[in-house]
């Protein structure tokens, strides 16, 4: 099944295009290790005690390599409430960071494959 890119507007960002894949980076601060977390939009993956769902991944229409914007939902499986639900920006990871005592997650890129 082919996935078509869809053009969308994000406030303050300009026109963007939806991409079917997102690449996240995970940091386990307890042991100091990092791991790439590739995933398909709509998929839920596990990273340690976290369940991460990528709802959307978008890039600027005119310059896809310039940035990536992903809407993520992140839940610690040991807790009932989500740890994070919102947009993360590859160019500004601290702008909307997840608050967790052990793990850091950030967006690296969005892509077609």
Q: For 48-100, what is each residue's pLDDT tens digit?
A: 999 999 999 999 998 888 899 999 999 999 999 999 999 999 998 888 889 89
Instruction: Assess if residue 100 is contained within a domain.
Output: yes
CB 54 within 8 A of CB 20: no
pLDDT > 50? residue 6: no
Label residue 13 by pLDDT band (50, 70, 90): low
Q: What's the pLDDT score for residue 8?
A: 45
Total number of domains constituting the chain: 1
DSSP labels, 30-58:
TTTEEEEEEEETT-EEEETTEEEEEEEEE
In a domain? residue 2: no
36 belongs to a structural domain: yes
* 1 occurs within a structural domain: no
pTM: 0.85
What's the token pair of residue 46?
């596990």
Q: Does the residue 19 lie in any domain? A: yes
Domain that holds residue 103: 7-111
3-state secondary structure of 64: coil
């Amino acid at each position: 099944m082919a996935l078509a890119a869809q053009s969308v507007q994000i406030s303050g960002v300009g026109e963007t295009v939806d991409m079917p894949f997102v690449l996240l980076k995970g940091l386990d601060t307890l042991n100091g290790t990092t791991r790439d977390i590739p995933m398909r939009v709509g998929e839920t993956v596990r990273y340690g005690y976290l369940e991460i769902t990528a709802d959307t991944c978008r890039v600027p229409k005119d310059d896809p390599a310039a940035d990536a914007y992903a809407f993520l939902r992140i839940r610690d499986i040991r807790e009932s409430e989500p740890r994070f639900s919102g947009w993360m920006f590859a160019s500004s990871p601290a702008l909307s960071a997840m608050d967790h005592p052990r793990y850091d997650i950030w967006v690296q890129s969005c892509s077609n494959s």
